Structure formats: structure tokens, C-alpha cells
Amino acid sequence: MRLSLNRRQTGVVQIFLTLPFLAPFFAPSLTPASATVIFVLGCLAGYRYRAVWKAEGPRWQLWLTGLVAAAAFLTLGFVPMAV
């Protein structure tokens, strides 16, 4: 593991980019196509979460769909898009 913390590269994304197994998850920006796919997956997960919640379904499905929806929308909110 190579950790780079000099004065020019102190951002969290730069730290994670130096870890080879995390690099694909912390790309510097999202393409419009990948952002659209993430948005649709987040909407479908949120819709499923609401359906399971209304039906008082299993807790593990609530957690799974809720975490997927939250991760999708947090990714869209905090990762910049390439124009």
C-alpha cells in the first residue's frame, strides 16, 4: 500500500486513488451515462424500499435496498460529473 501525503496531494480522493483496489470506485468524475445508470438504480432501489416498508417485509430487504439507494444518491451528490 502506497500512501501519498505531500503538500500538493492531500485530498481524500487522492489518498484513495493510491490504493489500487479502491481506484475504480473513486474515479475523478462520472460520465453522463454512468450518472444516469446510478440515478435509475437509486430510483428503483428507493421504490423497492418503499414497497417493502409498506408491506412490512423482512428487515434485511429494507437495509439492502435502503443502503443501495443511499449510496447511489450520495455518489451522485458528491462525485463531480464530466461535461
Residues 6+ apart with CB under 8 A from 61: 48, 52
Residues 42 and 72 in one domain: yes
pLDDT at 36: 94
- pLDDT tens per residue across span 17-63: 565 565 556 657 888 999 999 999 999 999 999 999 999 999 999 99
pTM summary value: 0.65
Q: Please state, in angstroms and as integers, the Cα–Cα distance from residue 11 to each residue in 19, 34, 81, following that order.
A: 13, 23, 18
pLDDT at 82: 82
| Amino acid found at 15 | I
Evaluate whether residue 83 is within a structural domain.
Answer: no
**Domain containing residue 65:** 31-78
The Cα 45–Cα 42 span in angstroms is: 5
pLDDT at 35: 92
- Comparing 3 with 79, which gets the higher pLDDT? 79
Residue 64, pLDDT above cutoff 80: yes
43-54 b/e with 16+ CB inside 10 Å = b?
Answer: eebbebbeebee
pLDDT band of 68, cuts 50, 70, 90: very high
Residues 36 and 73 in one domain: yes
Residues 48 and 20 in one domain: no
